[in-house]
Amino acid sequence: MRTKEDYIKGLTKMKRNIYYDGQLLDRTDELQMDCLNTIGVTYDEAARPENQKLCTAISHLTGERINRFNHIHQNKEDLHNKQDMTRMLCQKVGGCIQRCMGIDGTNAIYNVSYEADKANKGATQYHENFKKWLTRFQTEDLIGCCAQTDTKGDRMLRPAEQPNPSAYVRIKERRKDGIIVEGCKLHISEASVADEILVLPTRALRPEDKDYAVAFAVPGDWDGMKQVVTIHNFRPREHYKRGFVPGYTDSYLLFDNCFVPWERVFLAGENLMGGACALLFALFHRHSYSGCKPAIGDVILGAAALAAEVNNIHKESHVREKLAEIIMTIELGYAAGYTASDLGKPELYIPGMGFVPFGPGSYIPHSIYCNVGRCLSGEAVFREAEIICDIAGGIIATFPHEKDFKNPETGEQLLKYTKRNPKMSVEDQANFWRFLGDVFCSATGGIMNVGNYHGGGSPIMEQIAITTQYDIESRKKLVKYHAGMSGGDREVFSKK
Ligand SMILES: Cc1cc2nc3c(=O)[nH]c(=O)nc-3n(C[C@H](O)[C@H](O)[C@H](O)COP(=O)(O)OP(=O)(O)OC[C@H]3O[C@@H](n4cnc5c(N)ncnc54)[C@H](O)[C@@H]3O)c2cc1C
């Protein structure tokens, strides 16, 4: 396995194709360092012997020990470990750990490429090609990101109906040696610091959308692809250092007549499998949320409890109610993910067919629980921010910059007027408000909230998945029985 330093060194060898605010950027530019340090934690922690079980796994392809983020889930235990690893690492960086897109994308394509070859009765070799790609990905301990979200143009039109045919990434041309793709994937987290970019479809596709059923992987600096990145760093600190300083990046990926050789193509025209791939990536990613959202909830809970303490209102009953609300969201989200892991099987829920065996035997978390957990915790993001806002008061929005505390003209007085709880040092109180201002009242804090709400699919996507997959008819039969209506059945569940 690599070290964080090997990873960063690898990035220095890549071609410059990343644009930031009108300029070409080096991958290891200072602006990207907080993000690199964040992903670096996945290397540092995997190297610690006490984390071996959680952060590493044995590759089913090579028998070698690899970073868990590059592993294909072989059993329920792997799903549990992925959830717990995600929670632990997100706690350590105090936010998103960012490497989950790679594990979720690889697990989706691994299964779908197998099924596509089966449906094509041996006419394609997507799965073997993917396994070759994956072996290198695992052995070299690479970072992958996953580019699913398309620009989507007019939301009311399907891909092939759009006035701009490249509103969704599509196969523009098929050649003997590969395909030419065109389009733009957007909001792609960590693409600017990734070794490999996995591309897969956004949505269910009809036969006429077959050119949009495309999955492939290219290096982050591949010819024919440019990145335009937004970088989300917290305000730099000179005098009052905080603990870990996380950073994030998201890219627009512009594919312009981009050639992808067949050995890097894992789906090309199979519309049903394209839809399955979209569904499956979203499912794995929603499972990842059952690890990261509880960790972010842990930070929010700690912040809310400390805000109450600094304000010396921590014994008030309304504070208790609000802390309980945050805890319930955290742990219900975690419990949903735990159940999804525990009920995991090599099966996928296909609308209209129910659960069917899917893929070559690797494990897929239970769909209902992944969706319930992500929806519950995703929708709570702004409620949690509201609770922090309520308990903290206005100070998080206007707390003066650090140099005003260092300035002899203002520093002493500012500190004097920062004092609230007599039992806590005023320096600690000031550091706390600085931190909370960073997290809740900065551009980066706002961006993270939007990401936590929409990432993995907007709540409506989970609600559609939940209501189409849940057996509502059985519940209707049960109530018909109790109400004395025709068609009632109180044994409906015991028969299943
Ligand atoms: C910080 C951040 C990081 C992200 N990282 C990644 C990443 O790494 N990889 C990746 O692939 N994606 C990523 N995403 C994208 C994320 O998955 C999407 O934002 C999410 O799926 C919603 O898609 P959208 O933004 O296009 O919104 P839309 O889908 O346009 O949703 C906007 C509204 O329109 C509604 N709507 C949309 N279509 C329809 C329709 N046909 N009928 C009725 N209503 C409709 C939706 O319900 C919603 O209310 C990230 C997003 C953010 C904010």
**The Cα angle at residue 183 between residues 181 and 185, in degrees rounded to 5:** 115
Gap between the Cα atoms of 136 and 61, Å rounded: 10
Under 8 Å CB-to-CB from 470, ≥6 apart: which residues?
368
Predicted local confidence at residue 351, as pLDDT: 77
Atom of ligand 1 nearest to the CA of 147: 11
**C-alpha dihedral over 209, 212, 215, 218, to 10 degrees?**
170
Q: Is 121 in the pocket of ligand 1 (CB under 6 A)?
A: no
Q: Is 187 in the pocket of ligand 1 (CB under 6 A)?
A: yes
Tell me, in angstroms, the distance from the centre of ligand 1 to residue 153's CA.
12
Predicted local confidence at residue 496, as pLDDT: 64
Is residue 196 within 8 Å of 250, Cβ to Cβ? Answer: no
Is residue 433 within 8 Å of 418, Cβ to Cβ? Answer: yes
Q: Is 95 in the pocket of ligand 1 (CB under 6 A)?
A: no
Atom of ligand 1 nearest to the CA of 250: 3
Q: How many CB atoms lie within 10 A of CB 400?
A: 16
Q: Is 454 in the pocket of ligand 1 (CB under 6 A)?
A: yes
Tokens of residue 182, six digits: 């065109």
Q: What is the pTM of this model?
A: 0.96
Helices (H), 30-153: 33-46, 52-55, 76-93, 100-119, 126-139
Q: Is 402 in the pocket of ligand 1 (CB under 6 A)?
A: no
Amino acid at 213: A
SS3 243: coil
Fold of 277-472: Butyryl-CoA Dehydrogenase, subunit A; domain 3 (1.20.140)
Q: Is 344 in the pocket of ligand 1 (CB under 6 A)?
A: no
Tell me, in angstroms, the distance from the centre of ligand 1 to residue 455's CA.
7
SS3 266: strand
Residue nearest to atom 16 of ligand 1 (CA): 455
Is residue 143 within 8 Å of 99, Cβ to Cβ? Answer: yes
Q: Is 147 in the pocket of ligand 1 (CB under 6 A)?
A: yes
Residue nearest to atom 21 of ligand 1 (CA): 457
Tell me, in angstroms, the distance from the centre of ligand 1 to residue 201's CA.
13
Amino acid at 169: V
Ligand 1, pocket-test mutation among 255, 292, 458, 461, most atoms within 8 A of CB? 458
Tell me, in angstroms, the distance from the centre of ligand 1 to residue 219's CA.
24
Gap between the Cα atoms of 48 and 67, Å rounded: 12
Q: Is 477 in the pocket of ligand 1 (CB under 6 A)?
A: no
Atom of ligand 1 nearest to the CA of 248: 1
Residue nearest to atom 53 of ligand 1 (CA): 451
Q: Is 162 in the pocket of ligand 1 (CB under 6 A)?
A: no
Tell me, in angstroms, the distance from the centre of ligand 1 to residue 464's CA.
14
Q: Is 458 in the pocket of ligand 1 (CB under 6 A)?
A: yes
Tell me, in angstroms, the distance from the centre of ligand 1 to residue 236's CA.
30
Gap between the Cα atoms of 159 and 152, Å rounded: 7
Tokens of residue 479, six digits: 């109530």
Atom of ligand 1 nearest to the CA of 189: 8
Under 8 Å CB-to-CB from 490, ≥6 apart: which residues?
478, 481, 482
Q: Is 101 in the pocket of ligand 1 (CB under 6 A)?
A: yes
Gap between the Cα atoms of 320 and 283, Å rounded: 34
The domain limits of the chain are 277-472
CA distances, 337 to each of 269, 310, 347 (Å): 33, 33, 17
Predicted local confidence at residue 127, as pLDDT: 98
Is residue 190 within 8 Å of 103, Cβ to Cβ? Answer: no
Ligand 1, pocket-test mutation among 454, 460, 462, 464, most atoms within 8 A of CB? 454
Atom of ligand 1 nearest to the CA of 447: 1
Is residue 146 within 8 Å of 109, Cβ to Cβ? Answer: no
Q: How many CB atoms lie within 10 A of CB 468?
A: 11
Residue nearest to atom 39 of ligand 1 (CA): 155
Phi/psi class of residue 255: alpha, beta or left (left: φ > 0; alpha: ψ in -120 to 50)? Answer: beta
Q: Going residue by residue through the chain (496 aa), what tens digit of pLDDT does each one get?
A: 999 999 999 999 999 999 999 999 999 999 999 999 999 999 999 999 999 999 999 999 999 999 999 999 999 999 999 999 999 999 999 999 999 999 999 999 999 999 999 999 999 999 999 999 999 999 999 999 999 999 999 999 999 999 999 999 999 999 999 999 999 999 999 999 999 999 999 999 999 999 999 999 999 999 999 999 999 999 999 999 999 999 999 999 999 999 999 999 999 999 999 999 999 999 999 999 999 999 999 999 999 999 999 999 999 999 999 999 999 999 999 999 999 999 999 999 887 788 899 999 999 999 999 999 999 999 999 999 999 999 999 999 999 999 999 999 999 999 999 999 999 999 999 999 999 999 999 999 999 999 999 988 888 889 988 998 899 999 999 999 999 999 999 999 887 6
Predicted local confidence at residue 458, as pLDDT: 86
Predicted local confidence at residue 457, as pLDDT: 83
Tell me, in angstroms, the distance from the centre of ligand 1 to residue 24's CA.
27
CA atoms within 13 A on the CB side of 68: 27
Query: What size, in residues, is the chain?
Result: 496
Gap between the Cα atoms of 28 and 36, Å rounded: 8
Amino acid at 74: Q
Q: How many CB atoms lie within 10 A of CB 338?
A: 20
Give, to the nearest 10 degrees, the angle between helix 317-342 and helix 271-310.
Answer: 150
Q: Is 463 in the pocket of ligand 1 (CB under 6 A)?
A: no
Tell me, in angstroms, the distance from the centre of ligand 1 to residue 458's CA.
6
Q: How many CB atoms lie within 10 A of CB 152?
A: 14
Tell me, in angstroms, the distance from the centre of ligand 1 to residue 454's CA.
6
